[in-house]
Structure 1
Amino acid sequence: MSGKAFFVGAHEFRFNAPKTSEGAWTVMIVHIDHSKTPPSHNRFTGDTVYTVESEALSYAEELAHELARHIE
């Protein structure tokens, strides 16, 4: 599954829903702070697994936007 990304200033948020070894999907978010040299990377992965890929991706997007609101 290909992920999506958006920027808030110098902060990039990438999110996707990778498939687990059990055949379900989970949430993954990567926050990259481009204002730092080199850019800092923080990765967040969800504990919950989803049986529907679109649900996992939708929740990943929701969480990524929530993280971005705390940075604005």
Structure 2
Amino acid sequence: MRNSANIETAMAALARAAWTRGQSPTYDEEAVCDLLADLKHFCVAANIDFGTCDRLAEIHFDAESEEVP
């Protein structure tokens, strides 16, 4: 599987977020949306521009998706 380390990192973040909320980990759209909302709250608190991070993440994702396995 391509980018398996990236996928494992994302799954660990989803699991940790669920654990922090006192929930069992899930790996569905709702879990991803919850984590993204949490990240937005974090960005506001840390004075980080979430939109810029999101655009740069898209660039990184595109570059990583083009890599040869």
In terms of fraction of residues, the more helix-rich structure is 2
Greater Rg, structure 1 or structure 2? 2
Same fold (TM over 0.5): no
Greater share of strand residues, 1 or 2? 1
Name the structure, 1 or 2, with higher relative contact order (CA <8 Å, separation 6+): 1
Range into which the TM-score falls when normalised by the shorter chain: 0.3 to 0.5
